[in-house]
Structure 1
Amino acid sequence: MKPLIAAALLLATGAASAFDRQSWLDDYAFLKTALEQRYANLAWFASPQGGLNLPAIDKRTRRLLETAEDDDMAKAALTAFVGGFHDGHFSPAGGALQPKIARPLTLPAVDYSKLGAMQACAALGYAPFRSVAFSLPFESLPGTVLEADGLARAFRAGVVTAPDGTRLGIVRIARFREQDSSPNSCMEAWGERQADGAMSEADVAPVRSAASAAWMQTLAAQLRHFREQKVAAVIVDVGGNSGGNDTGDWAARLFTANDVHSARLMMSAAPLAAQYFDEQLAQLRAAQKEKDATPEARAMLEQSIAAFEARKAGIAARHCDLSWVWTEQRPWQPQGCSRLIDAGYASGQAAYLPPKSFGNQTIASSIYWAAGVDGLRGAWNGPAYVLTDSGTASSAEMFAALMHDAVGARTVGRATAGDGCGFMADVPPVELPRSRLRYRVPNCVRLRADDGNEVAGVKPDLPVLPAEGENDRARAYRLLDMVAADLRARPAAAAAAKP
């Protein structure tokens, strides 16, 4: 027995010596420094408005690391630290990478000219990845007439009837990424393409553009149909919508004929911001080559270029020591010591341009990305409600916030996830030098109308929380009752709802 005991003691000693606590503490210090330099939401979460106590979170994490007994416990401490921010964009980026492959396989490029519409669109990522069903089972309620199933067309939609008989239009946006909806729009665009020889993914850009336009046109057509049916209001369901792309900003224009100004955008004052600014400058300079540009257009392009050049030159001036966040709280001041720099708006350099500005779509879109939906603005122009829940995130939160702040829509349901802007520059994750753990670190901030950070989430004007003994079907019916009651209580909304 003695040799076995000795062997066990040697194994235990070896396991203990394999755990290097200092390496984990060094990794944690590295991560905090990276956040100070790159995390766009750090100053927000270090403020009383941010709702966190970063000094307490830091003390807890250091205590857990200092008392950890093995790598699993140390890793759990870092996992708890990251999770404590409750920011879905600040998250692990998968496991540690394996060493670079010495002799990687040569991957042939896709020749899209040899593919049929179905396979080509599948290869381009067009497929209904998200559930097309409403986030609450409105389909099962009495008086519901389903007009689109969300499969043959991009959006599930129909007319629902509240308990008091009020007829409401409802449209489901499962995700703000047209590829994740019905692939039919891509397949239709594919049939209209002009193939001449081999086609790479870059060559199918017109197909993507046409499919994106069809996605918006389908939504606009549904909203116009609601107007024809004289529904009292429209509910747009973004429950469980995890985000997507800039269509979350553009789509809000379809719900009102009034001017919609996009949210202010800020970015981390780091080299990654220069990357984003360079992308905008390249787009603006390309637009300068348009031969039919009016003097007004050229002047606006020059002003936009000057603005982005000034921002790029001013990145270093926005640097400051953010290490204070681990020891104290300071009021949220995006223009103060936040390491944030102005980046224009969520729609580009301009928050708004009048429809058909400059008589040139290319120029207008380079300055104001949402110009692409000029012809669809105001497809609906009555009362609107945005249905959200804890799965509503990222660009879906941008949509909900813009609908509330700029369109005047009411939010109903549950608070959104609180993921905020996320990423405006595609940069590698932060990799810790010893553990090789990797984390995605958000690099942008969208500001609300009150200068708050969208990462705080969008709170519902009309909270509809689950009640004891109530199933989802009953909650859906109660939600319709609350919307109808809210309409009755709002004279302006009631007047707008009349045919």
Structure 2
Amino acid sequence: MLRIFVFILLLSSFVAAQSVNNEAWLEDFSQMKREMSSHYANLEWAVAERGVDLKALSESTEAKIRSAKSEADVIQALRTFVESFGDGHLQGERPKTQNSNSSEQKAEGLCERLGFRERAFRDGIDFALGEGFRKIDTPSSAYIPAGIGTLSDGKQYGILRIPSFSEQHMPSLCRTALAELNIKEDADCDGECSGKVEQKAADLYVDAFRLQLEEVRKAKVAFVIVDVTGNGGGSDVYQPMARMLTKKKLKISTFGFIRHPHWVKDLKERLTDIVAAIPDAPPAMQARLKVAEKAVRKDLAEAEKTCDLSPLWENKQPGCTNVVRSLNAGVTYAAPGELTDTVLGDLFFTASRYKYAEGLYSGPLFVMIDERSASASEGFTALLRDNDAATVIGMPSLGAGCGYTNGGISTVLKNSKLRLHMPDCVRYRPDGTNEINGITPDVMIPWRRNDTPVQKFRRLNAILPTLQK
């Protein structure tokens, strides 16, 4: 589990130099369980769907911590505990120290200060190993690699590689955004300014995808493969990208939130924005806003209720659920531009924040995933698959599902100062299952973890002719 390993690595660096204090760690572990009972969106799922015996897991972990002879023993106990949940968004990290006067921070550019960090992406499938492959070489290839493959019968197919759904991993997009917005590197850029830069960078990334898709379409290919293998997720840029790949009106999935002050605050702010927008809205929009107001009031009433999930740690039923299925203000679909710069669009249909056109491609579409495709990659795949707009090929995805909203809910443990991050939302698929179950491909490719790039391509190449049928 990719993010679970992050949890352990960060924790390892934190405690390596400290002597073990068993009682302090036991106290922190008790706090961890209380926090999970309060705001871990997938705790009930772990019991009902994953079959986790929370009582046995808790007792086993406590025993290991109590008998630990070193911090390494504690780390291993926590590692086993976290891995048991199989949740890519369940994380822990050491709080970062902030020193605004450090020479390192002074040397950082504006994009770095805004959180843009270069990341080495995992390679996708190496289609260049196939005969007749032609790479599409444009400025946008730096962000969305693309090419044209050739089948044994001479027909061609298109390839689009999305290495990440996070524009934050591409500082060059930020630098281009600064230039286009005429913002200097040494500018103070907080609040509205940072929002403009981040949105512009996201728009540039979405447009890079559009340009590469246009290049693929020019080749009049028999089908298109979108490769999101190894893509660990990111932001909502996946929404407009998916909508460019089909003429179908993609409806968003049902959303779930937890009963917690975090969501009470969020929903109250939404309600305030909706009510404020009603008087000046055109009649048709007023009607939609009133529907949204009613739906949000119902969601808010549910969020304000409490549900104590602590009985789950004793393998008892709590008699309530901590996850509420949102009414989403009645918004499931909007055409491009329909909800742009509106309260409804900003709050309930995130695709409206971006500039895009639907249906730039309308032919056969395949989304390729593997065990490292997670989070936004799963959202992208499910959005297309669940609207019957694409066939999924590859291996089952990681299973991370929905992550954090508005920065999420972080908790600092009292003694170790470990900062915990737990998902506070759920994305449901049409059959009612939690997206954290992962996406199972329609067409399985028998890749193995230790396959070389050559082996991976050969296994894919063996099924390519069948995709035309």
2:156 matched residue in structure 1: 167
Picking from 362, 366, 386, the partner of 1:405 is 386
Q: Distance in 1 between matches of 2:269 and 2:236?
A: 15
Equivalent pair of 2:224/2:364 in contact (CA under 8 Å)? yes
Change (3 A) 1:276 1:164: farther
What is residue 454 of structure 1 aligned with on the other side? 435
SS at match of 1:92: strand
Opposite residue 45 of structure 1, the aligned amino acid is A
Judging changes above 3 Å, is the alpha-carbon distance between structure 1 residues 222 and 283 closer, same or farther for their aligned structure 2 residues? farther
Q: Distance in 2 between matches of 1:40 and 1:181?
A: 30
**Structure 1 residue 326: deviation in Å?**
2.8
What's the secondary structure of 1:155's corresponding residue? Answer: coil
Q: 1:361 to 1:19 in 2, by over 3 A?
A: closer
User: C-alpha deviations, 1:392-418, integer Å up to 9, x for none?
Assistant: 111111111212112431222222111
Q: Which residue of 2 aligns with 1:209?
A: 199
CA deviations over 1:340-398 (Å, ceiling 9, x no partner): 123455xx86221244437x643552342212457411111111111112221111111
Match of 1:5 in 2: none
* Conserved 8 A contact 1:149-1:155: no
The CA deviation at 1:275 is 3.1
> What's the CA shift string for 1:252-297, capped at 9, x where partnerless?
21111111111111112111112332453455456558x5x32111
Q: How does 1:220-369 map to 2 (within 5 A)?
A: 220-281=210-271, 283-284=273-274, 287-288=277-278, 293-317=281-305, 319-328=306-315, 337-345=320-328, 350-357=331-338, 361-363=341-343, 365-366=345-346, 367-369=348-350
Which runs of 5 or more residues in structure 2 are unaligned? 1-18
For 1:437 and 1:120, the matched residues in 2 are separated by 29
Deviation at 1:310, TM superposition (A): 3.0
CA displacement 1:21-50 (0-9 Å, x = unmatched): 444333322221211111000000110x22
Partner of 2:181, secondary structure, is coil
Separation in 2 of the partners of 1:199 and 1:69?
50
Residue-by-residue CA offset, 1:156-214 (whole Å, 9 max, x unaligned): 0011123443421111111112232472x544443443569965243254343333223
- Residue 313 of structure 2 aligns to which amino acid in structure 1? W
Structure 2 CA distance for aligned equivalents of residues 396 and 267 of structure 1: 20
Alignment-mate amino acid for residue 87 of structure 1: D
What stretches of structure 1 move > 6 A for 4+ residues in a row? none
Cα distance in 2 for partners of 1:453, 1:219 equals 29
CA distance in 1, matches of 2:373, 2:395: 9
> TM-score under structure 2 normalisation?
0.83
1:141 lines up with 2:121 in the alignment: no
Q: Report the structure number with the largest CA radius of gyration.
A: 1
Residues 427 and 190 (structure 1), Cα distance of their counterparts in 2 relative to 1, 3 Å cut = closer
Q: Secondary structure at the match of 1:429?
A: strand
Structure 1 51/413 Cα, relative in aligned 2: closer, same or farther at 3 Å?
Answer: farther
Superposed, 1:12-23 pairs within 5 Å as 21-23=22-24
| Partner residue in 2 for 1:496 | none
Counterpart-to-counterpart distance in 2, 1:438 and 1:389: 29
Q: Does structure 2 conserve the Cα–Cα contact (< 8 Å) formed by 1:40 and 1:340? A: yes
Q: Quick one: distance in 1 between partners of 2:408 and 2:123?
A: 34
Unaligned runs of 5+ in 1: 1-17, 489-499
Cα-Cα RMSD: 3.5
Q: Which residue in 1 is equivalent to 2:413?
A: 432
**How far is 1:106 from its partner?**
5.6
Instruction: Output the CA distance in 1 between the equivalents of 2:117 and 2:307.
Output: 45
Alignment of structure 1 residues 125-136 onto 2, 5 Å: 125=115, 128-131=118-121, 134-136=123-125
Q: Is the deviation greater in 18-27 or in 305-314?
A: 18-27
TM-score (norm 1): 0.78
Q: Secondary structure at the match of 1:376?
A: coil
- Name 1:64's counterpart in structure 2: 64
When residues 19 and 243 of structure 1 are mapped into structure 2, their CA distance, relative to the original with a 3 A threshold, is closer
**Amino acid corresponding to residue 32 of structure 2 in structure 1:** L
- Match of 1:6? none
SS of aligned partner of 1:235: strand
Query: Which residue of structure 1 lines up, in the alignment, with residue 16 of structure 2?
Result: none
